[in-house]
Amino acid sequence: MKQQPRILIVEDEPAIAELIAVNLRHNGLSPVWAEDGESAQREIDAVLPDAILLDWMLPGATGVQLARRWRADARTRGIPILMLTARGDEPDKVAGLDAGADDYITKPFSTQELLARIRAVLRRRAPEKTAETVALGGLALDPATHRVTWQGKALKLGPTEFKLLHFLLQYPERVHSRQQLLDRVWGDHVFIEERTVDVHVKRLREALGPAGGLVETVRGAGYRITAQPGSA
């Protein structure tokens, strides 16, 4: 029997957590509840979840602080994090994404929207279909081993940044609009905003370090990866 994806719900309000858990169970997912950062860490230490639903406002460490901590840990870096919060302003969304969240869901949200977003991050975490290494200059990405190197030195990328880089490397020098990147990298996840692309491009550049300049912004058009940065 195929194992159900394990979803860690980090939420301090029992009624909300139970409602989410019931809906996840009814849709083929295996929910685990933690009411604060400490209990969430214990669950993660015991068994790594396939995705984390993380409330922003928690007793003790906030969701943003927890997201940063888990993104900094090699063991948890690749786990998709969906931030749940009543804070819907754009600066708050950007703060959540900058902290390492893969998606941002504003309360109140519908069950179908939540499930669609969870399925989307789980699809993005799935292994790439092609095993061929793609490279540009000194930058190389190997989908089979999920490794990225710059001039032979290993780099560490989050799951969304890895998929974004993989797509760009398959079409070097080609300019892609934000909507095209949403369609090709995020798939049919219709709830993602175009602003999310900018946040992940920023994170990708930071992860690439000296190679970050290869990812160019083409004003009024979108993004591209180029072997000749600064040529636009």
Q: Which helix (H) or strand (E) holds 3?
A: none
Q: Which helix (H) or strand (E) holds 192?
A: none
The pLDDT of residue 129:
46
Q: What average pLDDT does the segment 153-180 reach? A: 90
pLDDT at position 132 over 90 = no
pLDDT at position 190 over 60 = no
13 CB neighbour count, 10 Å cutoff: 12
Core vs surface per residue 208-229: b (16+ CB within 10 A) or e: beebeebbbeeeeebbbbbeee
Which tokens in the block code for residue 118?
A: 């969870």
The pLDDT of residue 128:
43
The pLDDT of residue 14:
93
The pLDDT of residue 191:
62
Give residue-wise pLDDT tens across range 115-129. Answer: 988 988 887 766 444
Core vs surface per residue 133-169: b (16+ CB within 10 A) or e: ebebeebbbbbeeeebbbeeeebebbbbbbbbbbbbb
Give residue-wise pLDDT tens across range 11-56. Answer: 999 999 999 999 999 999 999 999 999 999 999 988 889 999 999 8
The three-state DSSP-derived secondary structure of 77-135 is: CCCCEEEEECCCCHHHHHHHHHCCCCEEEECCCCHHHHHHHHHHHHHHHCCCCCCCCEE
Q: Are 204 and 224 in contact (CB under 8 A)?
A: no
pTM for the whole thing?
Answer: 0.58
Q: Are 134 and 141 in contact (CB under 8 A)?
A: yes
> How would residue 166 be classed by pLDDT, with cut points 50, 70 and 90?
very high
The pLDDT of residue 137:
86
Which tokens in the block code for residue 206?
A: 């930071």
Q: What average pLDDT does the segment 165-189 reach? A: 83
Query: What CA–CA distance (Å, rounded) separates 156 from 81?
Result: 17
- Name the pairing type of β-strands 51-55 and 6-10: parallel
Nearest Cα neighbor of 12 from 77, 60, 46, 48 is 60
Least reliable range by pLDDT among 3-17, 58-72, 91-105: 91-105
